[in-house]
Amino acid sequence: MMTSKKVIELFYDVVSPYSWLGFEVMCRYRNVWNIELKLRPAFLGGIMQGSGNKPPGLVPNKFLYMTQDLARLAKYFNVPLQSPSDPAEVMFKKGSLSAMRFVAAVQERQKGGDEQVERVSRELWRRIWSEDKDITEPASLSEAALKAGLSDSEIKEVLNIYTSQEIKDKLKSSSEDALDYGAFGFPMIVCHVNGKPEMFFGSDRFELMANCIGEKWLGPQPDKSAAKL
């Protein structure tokens, strides 16, 4: 008998490379584990401010470590991640507020499932963390959405609402939910186990998370692991 699916919420922001890793792993496992994955686009800048945390990029040694760490992780997770030419400008000057409002708008207008949210988020990560392209201008957001398979009319609809108060409030509400769970950075994954939320920060807690929800961790590429068995 199948037990009911455990709800897992994934809070993320496309400005965060570690969120991309966490996102891809959770998307790979959504059909492997008995889970219902809920994508929760939110704003990392609001989380940092609300929790009083400081980005690792502002500590020189951490920044150096992060650059090496991401290169190793990209290979391990099989995600085409490479640092942009000026990470500080991308992360701190340009930021991701408009991009995350755009993702929130895609989520708002999509009915039945979150396929478009998944694909648009992935294309935005690809632009910023693989191709060193802009994610702040409407034309950049449209290009990402087009690559993600949205039609011209769908993109127009999203562009019409992503700067509205309703969408601003939706993104703010998601970020506040994350803070209420105790977030101080992304990715943040909340597993609902026996009526209690279990919060995991980062993209290196999957083994522990699997244990917590009664599932098996098969590595970052479960399809490959399953093929070996």
- pLDDT of res. 2: 57
Catalytic residue among 4, 16, 151, 175: 16
137-177 pLDDT, tens digit each: 999 999 999 999 999 999 999 999 999 999 999 999 999 99
Whole-prediction pTM: 0.94
> Residue type at 174?
S
40-81 pLDDT, tens digit each: 999 999 999 999 998 777 788 988 898 899 999 999 999 999
- Residue 152 to residue 24: CA distance in whole angstroms: 26
pLDDT at 3 over 80: no
Domain boundaries, the chain: 6-227
- Residue 88 to residue 111: CA distance in whole angstroms: 36
Please answer whether residues 58 and 23 qualify as being in contact, where contact means their C-beta atoms are separated by less than 8 angstroms: no
Q: Which residue has the higher pLDDT, 198 or 90?
A: 198
Name 93's Cβ contacts closer than 8 Å, sequence gap at least 6.
Answer: none
| Alpha helix stretches (DSSP H) within the chain | 17-29, 44-51, 60-77, 87-88, 97-109, 115-129, 138-147, 152-161, 165-181, 206-213, 222-228
**Is residue 96 annotated as part of the catalytic site, yes or no?**
no
CATH superfamily for domain 6-227? Glutaredoxin (3.40.30.10)
pLDDT at 226 over 80: no
Percent of the chain with pLDDT over 70: 97
